[in-house]
Amino acid sequence: MGDTPGREGARKRRLLKPSLGSFEKNERKPEGTTSMGSLDYSEYLEEESSASAFTWEVKANDRTYNSRFKEKLFLCWRRKKYKGNVINTAKYNFFSFLPLNLYEQLRRMSNLYFLFIILLQALFPVISTIPWFTLFTPLICLIIIRAIRNLVDDIGRHRSDKSINNRPCQMLVGESFLFKKWKDLYVGDLVCLRNDNMVPADMLLLASTEPSSLCYVETADIDGETNLKYRQAPIVTHQELTSVKNMASFQGKVVCEEPNSRMHNFLGCLEWEGKKYSLDSGNILLRGCRIRNTDTCYGMVIYAGFDTKIMRNCGKVHLKSTKIDSLMNKLVILIFAFVVLISLALTCGFSMRVKKFRAGHYYVPDIYKYSVTSESFFIFLSFLILLSVMMPMAMFIIAEFIYLGNSFFIDWDMEMYYEPQDIAAKARNTSLSVQLGQVQYLFSDKTGTLTQNIMTFKTCCIGGIVYSPEKEEALNKENPYLWNKYADRKLFFRNARLLNIVRSNKDRMVQEFWRLLAICHTVMVEERGDKLLYQAASPDEEALVTAARNFGYVFLTRTQDSITVMELGEQRVYQVLAMMDFNSVRKRMSVLVRNPEGSIYLYTKGADTVILSRLRMKGLNKKEQITKAATEEALTSFAEQTLRTLCLAYKKVEEDMYKDWCQRHQDASVLLQNRAQALHRVYEEIEQNLQLLGVTAIEDRLQNGVPETIQCLKKGNIKVWVLTGDKQETAVNIGFACQLLSEDMLILQEEQIISILETYRENNSNLPQVKMAAMVVTGEFLVSVSSGLTVGPQKEQHTRGEGGLLEKPKQMPPGDDKLMRSTTGFMVQNKDNNTQEIPEVWQKQAFVELASRCQAVICCRVTPKQKALIVALVKKYQKVVTLAIGDGANDVNMIKTADIGVGLAGQEGMQAVQNSDYMLAQFCFLRRLLLVHGRWSYMRVCKFLRYFVYKTLAVMMVQIWFSFYNGFAAQPLYEAWFLALFNLLYTTLPVLYIGLFEQDVSDKQSLELPELYIAGQKDKLFNYLVFIQAMAHGTATSLVNFFMTLWVSRDIAGPISDYQSFAVVMATSGLLTVTMEVILIIKYWTILFVLAIFLSLCFYIVINYVTQRFWFFTISPKTFSFLYVNQNVLSQPSALLVVLLNVSVNTLPVLAFRVIQATLMQPSPKEKEKEEEEEEAAAAPPEEIPLLPRGRRSSYAFSHQEGYANLITQGTILRRPTMAHMHPDPMTSDEMLSTSNDAI
């Protein structure tokens, strides 16, 4: 739409903060989204202060001059101030990989714990109860596995950077433009760009082959907007730089602000030949823009590489970890503390035992060579080493393979394969799969992520009659537009009834409807052969003009003051008397024309809220009243179908009235002050008493399955926020289209939000419950909230905003704390000068809390940096797992900041994918990624961790009980081979099966029951309580195994009366008990699981049989000391009965407890009814925010930029048959065809 938010943002900021006035006074024509690059106001002020210093000097074609500028690096070290155009977004380089990766891995408490134990074993080998290499080797393997994974991820970033840095561009070298690479560019270089080229750096536009050196750019990769924007070269360079020779001799110098992240603000001047020429954002081509509808243009590099605005918004690579990892770090500390306390307690027992032994056996002096304190210290270290197996390293190694396997399952899932583009899902980060099952907030881009960026003419209403598209069967018939040689075959809208009415040329309403669409626009046309090529500033306008073209009203050409239309084969020329452009306030466009018969007509199109209020109300006949009512019903129907609507109206203007109005229009257009306001008042005068023609309805096509996906995710308690650089009307319309918003929702506008926050601040009350509400805010509003400034116009009564949005008056609480109020209603407020609470902190926190209570949030007109900061705010104050999804460069920062980043392989390039953790082809695949793979991964890892903790304690805790019977000597109970292979081989396969294949429900049921996903959000499956339960269960198992065996074997001469036999019975009982436990907890039985159990037991039998052979005993009696013990003990029935008794006592009570618990936890019918009543009560509209009677929701949305009408009426945009100013194509001469040695 017309008025850019940058203009509004500049006006608001001038009113918000007087101290910014000195800078804002010089602001010129900022365009696009809000320029606030940060939600932190202090950061913004600091950046604003540095940027306002005009210390950036760049001279054209003079690298020597530009390279002499230096900046301080550290102490006396200085470096070049101006960076090259090389970008490097990777985390590591050749030299930093090893130290940085080791630092990242040693931040894990588990690795530090194992390293500590290894150092103890290496420094004190005498006291080591197990060899040092048994821990050192697995630790090295674990570090290498994680390092390789990180290296593979970073190599992908290096490849992405290399492909971008090696993109070709034409750079001026000497007196010719040669092909170079992006990385070869430097500030001051001149670059030639052609149609569809990507801009390689932030450049000053010097000239173009378009009239008046205009250049059209598409900024979808930056702000998500699909409408074209125009940039214009300074007049002096447009007039002087007419050849490559002149460009080679160009020595102009640009003095401007320092590099900053404000995407659409730029201030500077061009100094050339002793004169200065002002520059603003309208003269700048930003890196990431794409040249459109422009044959050739030329620019001078001002900011390169990381100094460009898009790179300033991209953010850094964040080290991402999961909630499970964080929890495990804390649990490692708890386990270490537990081991230390147990070791201290056992050491105390040893100390008392030594004293007692020495007192009774003084005649044996050589048993304890050191003092009691020294002996106790060594025994303490021995216990630390012995009990280190309670936190097994095998768990972390197996976890890495589980993460890797679950990532492969994502890659192999054919349900997430998109055949039209031959793109499969890809897990680019293999360590975050468990986090996919815990997402609570989803932040999504709009353009290209939810939508396809395709506008189609869907239906229309003319004279109160709705002409819907014919059914699909009719589309297979012969093309009905063959009679029209200008028809566009890409238009799929067909309605035979309407076409017959048009061709009969008898219905005046239908004639004027299509005539309006063919005349009232800013589309440019180019004739190529016998085809017409429309160049529109927005896809909406192109769709409308194309529809009129197919129905026989063909826009042929235009001049500065005329427009030619072919109407059903008759060529008619209309004299353009005035064009009244779109902007965000007017929400309409009008054209005043004189037809060939000499009559004057005004044609207007715009939002229904502004057109309907300007219709002629007096003297309406019954037919006109019926037409108006039918049209309003059609608008309601189109809104329910989430179509983008425009109302069309016209009127005949009398000659005398036109002459009077024309004089007032002329007077307003030459005013030096308040010209825009005066013109708007003049436009308002003539745009009255219109006659309604009808309504157009355009479909902004969503990607397949978007509404169903969002609804399913919402049922899974995932809050969906849409962050877009597009304007509010479009964002809200898409919100309704994808069912993120619904008609029964209360949509909080900015005024309401401010009122709620102020009431909360003043009265220190709780925020209201707004479960049936949604929030729609702009980037400028987010800045004001985060900076502690409250913004809102003061209204006297409730009004109904656009899109059915409720606008509540701002209730300002009384008090003397209002420090400042401007005439427009903006204020800065502080509750108490003595308060210790910073306004920015409480207001940001309160805003996030209020937003989190809404069902949906839409943030429009936000910059890439603001997207990331919104995600960071939610992470900071809500402590939740966040996921960001997007498809363009403007989403990269958001993707990096979120806990999980998903990139869509879309039409805006691969920047988002290259910086993401997961790649998808369509938004709808997100449903399966989270609800199936994410939930399965979380459930598997949690069950794996719980079982691993249980089985480790169940088998290893007996070392503690054994210490009470061996004199606290830190002697291991088990054979060394059992200790080494228990976690590595005997129980590995069942554990791997749990982590890779376990399913509580099928994938189909996971999608049908998204409520199952909530368990992961609430950390139900693994938390401190679950960990304590696993520890208690393992401890109880170890107690039963140890004391049951001890009780049976005491005072009985039998097969388990010696130490080694006792150890074998304990090992076998423990192994079979934990095996029974895994059999009980597994829910997804397959042949793989049976095979895993069978092989695990076989490994135990075979390895014990081999290691207890006499041949090994003769080689190393100390290492293979258990000679034939298993064979002798387990061949005795009494020993087998003890093992069976231990397994039964451990298993049967647990099984009975779980059956009883499952029965008791099933809700009774009365409890179910009560829960349903509570859900209905919770779904009711909140009482705190009163609901007003809801009127018809406007579905107006139109992509357009203000200014094109002026370009047309002034002739700036029009091509002329003989152009006085034509820039040569730099590649036409043989001299220009030369290329450099490193050309691409």
Q: Where in the sequence numbering do the catalytic residues fall?
A: 445
Cβ atoms 290, 196 nearer than 8 A? yes
Tell me the C-alpha to C-alpha distance, in Å, between residue 90 and each of 155, 317, 546, 607, 1020: 8, 7, 46, 47, 36
Cβ atoms 911, 290 nearer than 8 A? no
Q: CA 667: distance to chain centroid?
A: 50
Cβ atoms 1088, 997 nearer than 8 A? yes
Q: How far, in Å, CA of 304 to CA of 311, rounded?
A: 9
Cβ atoms 273, 22 nearer than 8 A? no
Q: How far, in Å, CA of 570 to CA of 576, rounded?
A: 19
Question: In 10 A of CB 159, how many CB atoms?
Answer: 12
Helix (H) or strand (E) holding 284: strand 284-285
Cβ atoms 887, 449 nearer than 8 A? yes
Tell me the C-alpha to C-alpha distance, in Å, between residue 301 and each of 69, 201, 326: 16, 6, 45
Number of H helices, E strands in the chain: 45, 40
Phi and psi at residue 207, to the nearest 5° = -170, 165
Q: Give the residue among 237, 378, 357 at the shortest CA–CA distance from 300.
A: 237
Phi and psi at residue 1000, to the nearest 5° = -85, -35
Phi and psi at residue 1083, to the nearest 5° = -115, -20
* Residue in the block written with tokens 């900021």: 13
User: Any residues with CB less than 8 A from the CB of 388 and at least 6 apart, and which?
Assistant: 113, 114, 117, 135, 339
**Which residues are 279's β-sheet partners?**
268
User: Any residues with CB less than 8 A from the CB of 1223 and at least 6 apart, and which?
Assistant: 207, 208, 209, 213, 241, 242, 243, 296, 298
Q: How far, in Å, CA of 624 to CA of 213, rounded?
A: 48
Q: How far, in Å, CA of 47 to CA of 49, rounded?
A: 5
Tokens linked to 737: 């289209």
Phi and psi at residue 530, to the nearest 5° = -105, 15
Residues making up the chain, counted from first to last: 1240
Cβ atoms 345, 383 nearer than 8 A? no
Cβ atoms 1043, 961 nearer than 8 A? yes
SS3 (DSSP) at 650? strand
Tokens linked to 1126: 């298993």
* Residue in the block written with tokens 């794409």: 290
The per-residue b/e assignment along 700-737, b for 16 or more CB within 10 angstroms, e otherwise, is: bebbeebbebbbbbbebebbbbbbbbbbbbbbbbbbbb
* Residue in the block written with tokens 């061009």: 270
Tokens linked to 597: 């018969």
Tell me the C-alpha to C-alpha distance, in Å, between residue 651 and each of 509, 511, 573, 599, 687: 12, 14, 19, 11, 9
Judged on CB neighbours under 10 Å (0-12, 13-18, 19+), 907 is: middle
User: Any residues with CB less than 8 A from the CB of 187 and at least 6 apart, and which?
Assistant: 58, 66, 82, 301, 302, 303, 304
Phi and psi at residue 502, to the nearest 5° = -65, -45
According to DSSP, residue 930 is labeled I
Query: How would you write 525-568 as a 3-class SS string?
Result: EEEECCEEEEECCCHHHHHHHHHHHHCCEEEEEECCCEEEEEEC
